[in-house]
Every structure is written in structure tokens, then in C-alpha cells.
Amino acid sequence: MKLNSVIKKILPGIFLIGFNIGTGSVTAMIKSGADFGMALLWALVLSCLFTFYLIHMFGKFTIASGHTFLQGIRKHIHPSIAIFILVSLGVMVSGSIMGVMGIASDVLQEWSKEWIDGGISSLTWAISITLFIIILFLLGNTETFKKALSVMVVLMAVSFIANAIIMFPALKEIVKGMVPGIPEANGSSPFFVVAGMVGTTVAPVIFVVRAILVKDEGWGKEDIKTQKTDAIVSAGMMFLISAAIMASAAGTLHLRGVNLIHTKDMIHVLRPIAGAFAVNIFVLGITAAAISSQFPNIFVVPWIISDYKGEKADMKSTPVRVIVIGMAILGIAVPLFNAQPIWVMVASQAFNAVLLPLTIGCIMYLSNSRKLMGDFRATTMHNLIFIVILIFSLIMSGAGIHGLIS
């Protein structure tokens, strides 16, 4: 009973881990490890520290004010800003759903070539995973989804950490990576790689969803400590899993001077170095990452629409089911047309560049409202941290846009 109680308390955090670490995040960490070893570990540390702080402050705002983030903006800043955030998140999540399934189905097709001539097509994998998610959604409920998500997060964590243990880089490289610095370009811009790492870790969508989850849990002011512990667990696991992925690439690809172009190429690189076992673990991790991020991704649009209206999303209603199934089907787009929908990816990156600083600015403003926050109003120290994160997000947004244009 005690174990169930503990798991229930950290379920919102586990939900965010699944949301945060998808195939995009995995690709960013592999790219960083392959091109620069552990030299950019400091950027991951900073990203996870900032993510913890923002997860905590978004949850704290909801507990103190009784409002979710979008409700707070709509009522106390301006409805048009809330609508802009809602639309931006919808575009970004659509891009994420397509990108996640595109990478995962490619990896699975490449892996299946080892035991079936020509392999199972990426489209077949994408349809199979999408059907699995839709059936689970139609037959289950929110609790079923949360439990399934928890299983996927555990599988993903165990897989990537086991891979890191097999291919662990030199300890001195890890220590050196904790010291901030920008390495020389090695097939890719270090600034763009850092921007990608930050963009997939300090993601605006997880903060907006965090506020909704905290309200759904019914946490009150007496649960502030529980909420903070949950935020620590969430950000800590994000760091552990992401660092393990980076270490795996640093201990194999970087050590041999191999630059990775496609995530699926990791299969051919790993096999002669670490054997079939490591390859199977890697594929399991990628699959778990894809499913665990698709689960919450398909819920985001109905959640945030209902949140904006001040309603609770009824997952059994026909309109919500149509939206969720439609979002899930988006995952088939990349393997079906055999191409990335470039305009969605560009729009997603452009929105993210504006959305992260805007989101931080809004939560800073709301957290300073005595009327909303009372005794939990932001202190001078809180505001200093907000300003540091805001400046960091602006720099990273600039780096991301520059890399995108280049």
C-alpha cells in the first residue's frame, strides 16, 4: 500500500518524464555525445536545473492561486496571449507527434532487417504503434494511460542506463563536461546542438501541462512539499536518462570519430562495438521513448482547449475522441509520405523560439501577483532565477533560429 501511495505521489512527475524524453530528445543527446563527447554535459545540467525550477514554480502557482497557467493568463494578463500559447502548443505538438514516429519507425525498420529480409516497413511499424495507442485510449481511461506510461518510462530508463553502463566513457571526460565551454565545431555547430538539447529539455509544453496535472491531482497548499519532491524526481530522472544517452554515444561514436546523421545508424555502429544485446536494448529504449511521449502528446490539444475554457476535458466525449485519434494518426504522416513535413518542423521551431521566453515571462509576472499568490508570492531570489532562465532562453532561441536558417 505504501508503494502505491509513493507511486501515486510521483505520477505527475513520471508523466512529464514520458512527455519530455521522446525520440527528438534522444536524437539531440546522441548528436551531442557523438559530435562532442561529454563536453556539453554542463548544458544538460543547466537545462535540467532550470526545468526543475520551472516545473516547481508552475505547480506552486496552480496550488497557491487555484488557476492553471492558461487560466491565469486569460484572466489576469490577456486572453489573446493565452490563445497564442494554445495555438503554438498545438503546432509544436503536431510536429512532435510526426517527428517522434518518423524516427522510431525508421529505427525499428532498420532493426528488423536483421531477422527479416528487407525488414518490416517503417509504415507498418508506425501504423502498429498508432493502433496500439488508439486501442488503449478507447478501451482504457486516464489512469490506464498513466500506468502504461509509467511502465514505458521505466523500460526507457532501464534500457538507456544499461546501454550507458556497457559503453561508459572515461570518468575524466564526464568531469570535464561539467565545466561550461563551447567545443570546436565537429561536423555540426555546437551552438545549434546546445539549442537542440535545451529545446527538447526546457520545453514550454511540459510546464503548461504541469499546471493542469497539479490541478487534476487536487493538490492544496499542504502539498507544496510533495509537489516540490515530485518536481525533483521528474527533473532528476530527465537528467539521468538524457546523460545516459549522451554517455552511450560519447563512449562509442565520439571515441571512434563517427558523426551520426540518422538515429537508425546507431544500430550498425553499436553492433560491432557492443554486440546484439546492446542493440536490442537501444531499440527497446527508442520504442519506449516513442510510445511514452506519444501517449501524452495526443492528449495535449483537448487538454489545453478545455483548460482555456476552464473546463475539465471529458476523454469519453465524441469531440475529444475525434481530436485524440486525429492527433494519433498524424504519427503515420512521415513514413506514409516518406518525408518530414518541413513546414511543420520550421513552424514548430519558430513558435518554440518565441514561446519559451514568453512562457517564462508570464509565469514570472503571475508569480509576483500578491492577489493571486498571497504568502507564496515570488521572492527577490525567485525573480533573479527567473531572469537568469529568461536570458538563457533568449540566447538559446537565437541560437536555434540561427541554426535553422543556416
Residue 289 has pLDDT above 90, yes or no: no
pLDDT of residue 7: 54
Q: Is residue 6 part of a domain?
A: no
CB atoms within 10 A of CB 268: 11
Model confidence band, residue 1 (pLDDT cutoffs 50, 70, 90): very low
| The pLDDT value given to residue 34 | 86
Domain for residue 104, yes or no? Answer: yes
The whole model's pTM is what? 0.89
| Residue 2 maps to a domain | no
Residue 202 has pLDDT above 80, yes or no: yes
Q: Is residue 5 part of a domain?
A: no
pLDDT at 404 over 70: no
Question: Is residue 105 included in any domain, yes or no?
Answer: yes
The Cβ of residue 48 has, within 10 Å, a number of other Cβ atoms equal to 22
Question: What does pLDDT average to over the chain?
Answer: 84
The CATH number assigned to the domain holding 199 equals 1.20.1740.10
Cα→Cα distances 51→182, 356, 360, Å: 21, 12, 11
Residue bearing cell 473546463: 311
| Least reliable range by pLDDT among 6-10, 77-81, 270-274 | 6-10
Note whether residue 353 is domain-resident.
yes
Taking residues 195-215, report their average pLDDT.
Answer: 87
Which of the two residues, 58 and 261, has the higher pLDDT score?
Answer: 58
Considering its fold, how many domains does the chain have in total? 1
Q: Which has the closest alpha carbon to 213: 145, 130, 137?
A: 145
Residue 357 resides in a domain? yes
Q: Mean per-residue pLDDT for 388-400?
A: 85
The pLDDT of residue 217? 84
More confident site: 289 or 46: 46
Quick check: 126 pLDDT over 90?
yes
d(CA 66, CA 222): 13
In a domain, 157, yes or no: yes
Which residues span the domain enclosing 71?
A: 12-405
| Arithmetic mean of pLDDT, 204-216 | 90
Indicate if the pLDDT at residue 330 is higher than 70.
yes
Asked if 403 and 195 touch (Cβ cutoff 8 Å), the reply is: yes
Does residue 266 have a pLDDT over 80? no
Q: What is the mean pLDDT of residues 57-73?
A: 94
d(CA 149, CA 404): 32
Q: Are 230 and 10 in contact (CB under 8 A)?
A: yes
- pLDDT tens by residue, 154-164: 888 888 888 88
Going by pLDDT thresholds of 50, 70 and 90, the confidence category of residue 288 is: confident
| Averaged pLDDT, 66-79 | 94
Q: Catalogue the long-range contacts made by 335-338 (C-beta closer than 8 Å, 24 or more residues apart).
A: 335/101, 335/102, 335/105, 335/106, 335/121, 335/122, 335/123, 335/125, 335/126, 336/123, 336/126
User: Tell me: the pLDDT tens digits for 2-43?
Assistant: 545 555 556 667 778 877 787 778 888 888 888 898 999 999
Say how far residue 317 (Cα) sits from the centre of its chain: 27
